[in-house]
Amino acid sequence: MEEQVEMVGKAFVDHYYHLFDNNRAALVSLYQPTSTLTFEGQQILGVDKISNKLNNLPFDQCRHVISTIDSQPSSSTGGILVFVSGCLQLQGEEHHLRFSQMFHLIPALQGSFFVQNDIFRLNYG
């Protein structure tokens, strides 16, 4: 069970950041109407508003470099908590931005998952 949770967590993280870095508009498929994103303290509810926020960030090109992925089962219904740390490289910027992000994945149809909760913070200092 633990191995499977870690496998799902890593596969999700790879998929999420690949989409974010290459086709950000496609991230909409990972959220549902009940999903919540907290982005730098701003809480955003619902797939349309989350998509709008992610697609209107003040940069077009970026690359995520993942340092750690920690995953654990979150409930008897098969949910998974995924905690990610890493660096964000913005195009034309010399310095990387360190970040942390937490996802609460909930099982959906056909063995897939959707993001129920997503918390993102830049790490300063």
- State the CATH number of the domain containing residue 87: 3.10.450.50
- CA–CA separation, 68 and 49 (whole Å): 28
Identity of residue 122:
L
Flag whether pLDDT at 93 surpasses 80.
yes
User: What pTM was computed for the model?
Assistant: 0.94
Nearest to 118 by CA among 51, 38, 54: 38
- Averaged pLDDT, 41-48: 97
Q: What is the tens place of the pLDDT at every residue in 3-16?
A: 899 999 999 999 99
| Angstrom distances, CA of residue 103 to CA of 12, 15, 94, 117, 118 | 10, 13, 28, 6, 5
- Averaged pLDDT, 10-24: 97
Count the domains in the chain. 1
The three-state secondary structure class of 40 is coil
Q: What is the tens place of the pLDDT at every residue in 60-82?
A: 899 999 999 999 999 878 899 99
Please give the residue range of the domain that contains residue 43: 1-122
